[in-house]
Amino acid sequence: MKRTTIAAASLAVAVLTATGCATPSSPSGNSDAAGEFAGRSMTFVGWGGAFQDAHRNAFIEPFAAMTSAKILDEAPTDYAKLRAQVDADTVMWDVVNVEPHIAVQGCTEGWLEPIDWDAMEGEYGFSRADILPQFVGECGAPDVFYAYQIAYNTNAFSEANHPTSWKEFFDVEAFPGKRGAYQNASGGLLEAALLADGVEEADLYPLDLDRAFAKLDTIRDELVFYKSGDEQLQLLSSGETPLTIGWNGRIQSGQLDGLPVAGEWNQHFQRYTQLVIPKGSKNADLAHAFLAFSLSPEPQAAITDFIAYAPVSISAASNVNSDMSPYLPSGPDVQPLGLPLDFNYYADHYGDVTNRLNEWLLG
């Protein structure tokens, strides 16, 4: 089985930036597909909020218009619900946006459909060669690049005086206030704790959990956990958590809405998402067509009109929204500041790390 690594994702960001001279091909309306899928319906499940809006505007609505299919969308992604649907043979979802380690785990354990890359080739302008091979999973199709970064409330901290490293993020005396963190084992908090405690970037994995949680103990009273991007942005913009581990697209969306929020690129965590098809989906053919469309250059470039997440299509890089370019994690000045999260580690240890985090939260 192929295993997609976030280190490869880092490489891909650099290549996408460097290949801006490529000319993307437009999705070609396939009349046979339009006829085949007319009147059909499928369900897309994403993370909600601005990210879901971006998917709806760049992928879902254009695909529905092209094929005459009806695309329902739900949020948020729920791994337990996904697994339960497959186990009970009552699959209601057809395409689900997940973290890469979930795509690997679901493939290994048999509750995700393998992606039929050959069947997708040529559909809607998609070419597998346009996606770097490091991103091509057995059961996961890459979606977008994004970043977890130090985010701050601009009423509490200024551009010249805010934490610029995870060590400073953990310094509650120099930078007072509550800290927001995603309640997810792979949400970057453990890596941030280890970096704040002096662990070198190259030595992060395997995670020293004892050391990470000991460091978290030092700011336990200052931590506030969020469970969605909308909640993250509300806590940050209101000042309840003037510092947070923020998702760069959500922070940028808040800035465009006039909220007092900003992000720091130094030591950001490089991430990407994947689209998967649950085992037993009754609309796997339609789901594959949707994946082919979503990965084609034009929709990949179009998503940057709606959120500051970078495309995974190489040839889409030359057509990204220029107004969004400063906010994308694929920029030549930004990408070298990032740290790759190792999703192979989480594919093997996600359950154990989740249990340890839950025990710490209860303790």
d(CA 261, CA 250): 10
pTM equals 0.87
* pLDDT tens column, 223-246: 999 999 999 999 999 999 999 999
Per the model's pLDDT, the better-predicted residue between 262 and 27 turns out to be 262
pLDDT exceeds cutoff 90 at 285: yes
CB atoms within 10 A of CB 109: 11
Residue 187 above 90 pLDDT?
A: yes
Please report which helix (H) or strand (E) contains residue 291, including its range.
helix 284-295
- Give me 253's structure tokens: 């969306």
Query: What is the SS3 assignment for 113-180?
Result: CCCCHHHHCCHHHCCHHHECHHHCCCCCEEEEEEEEEEEEECCCCCCCCCCCCHHHHCCCCCCCCCEE
Q: So what's the pLDDT on residue 7?
A: 36
Residues 6+ apart with CB under 8 A from 80: none
Distance of CA 12 to the CA centre of its chain: 15
**What was the pLDDT predicted at 55?**
98
Say how far apart CA 30 and CA 115 lie, in whole Å: 20
* Bridge-based pairing state of the strands 339-340 and 261-276: parallel
Determine the Cα–Cα distance for residues 298 and 315; give it in Å rounded to an integer: 9
% of residues, the chain, pLDDT over 90: 83
Q: Give the model's confidence band at 13: pLDDT under 50 very low, under 70 low, under 90 confident, else very high.
A: very low
pLDDT band at 136 (very low <50, low <70, confident <90, very high): confident
Rounded CA-CA distance 93/239 in Å is 37
Q: Tell me which residue of 88, 86, 40 sits closest to 63, measured CA to CA.
A: 40
- Maximum pairwise Cα distance, the chain: 64
User: Average pLDDT for residues 250-258, to the nearest whole number?
Assistant: 94
Instruction: Name the DSSP class of 199.
Output: -
Residues 6+ apart with CB under 8 A from 11: 132, 134
Q: Report the pLDDT value the prediction gives residue 331, as an integer from 0 to 100.
A: 84
- The answer, yes or no, to whether residue 2 has pLDDT greater than 80, is no
* pLDDT score recorded for residue 356: 98
Residue-wise pLDDT for 196-225, tens only, equals 999 999 999 999 999 999 999 999 999 999
Predicted local distance difference test score (pLDDT) of residue 135: 76
Question: pLDDT at position 29, please?
Answer: 46
The residue among 240, 235, 243, 264 whose CA lies nearest residue 327 is: 264
Lowest-confidence range among 26-30, 39-43, 69-73, 142-146? 26-30
pLDDT band at 33 (very low <50, low <70, confident <90, very high): low
Partners of 313 in beta bridges: 131
Distance between terminal CA atoms of the chain? Answer: 38
User: At 63, is the pLDDT very low, low, confident or very high (cuts 50, 70, 90)?
Assistant: very high
pLDDT band at 14, cuts 50/70/90? very low
> Cβ–Cβ contacts within 10 Å for residue 4, how many?
24
Q: Which long-range contacts (CB under 8 A, 24 or more apart) does 207-216 make?
A: 207/345, 207/349, 207/353, 209/353, 209/356, 213/356, 213/360, 215/170, 216/189, 216/190, 216/360
* pLDDT confidence band for 133 (50 / 70 / 90): confident
Is the pLDDT reported for residue 288 higher than 60? yes
Which residues lie closer than 8 Å to 39 by C-beta, 6 or more apart? 68, 69, 70
Of the candidates 314, 197, 338, the residue with the CA atom closest to the CA atom of residue 264: 338
Other CB atoms within 10 A of residue 222 CB = 15
pLDDT above 80 (res 5): no
pLDDT of 141-181, one tens digit each?
A: 999 999 999 999 999 999 999 999 999 999 999 999 999 99
Distance CA 350, CA 356 (A): 10
pLDDT at 242: 98
Whole-number pLDDT of residue 20: 39
pLDDT at 292 > cutoff 70: yes
pLDDT (0 to 100) of residue 154: 98
Helices 229-238 and 248-256, axial angle in degrees (round to 10) = 50
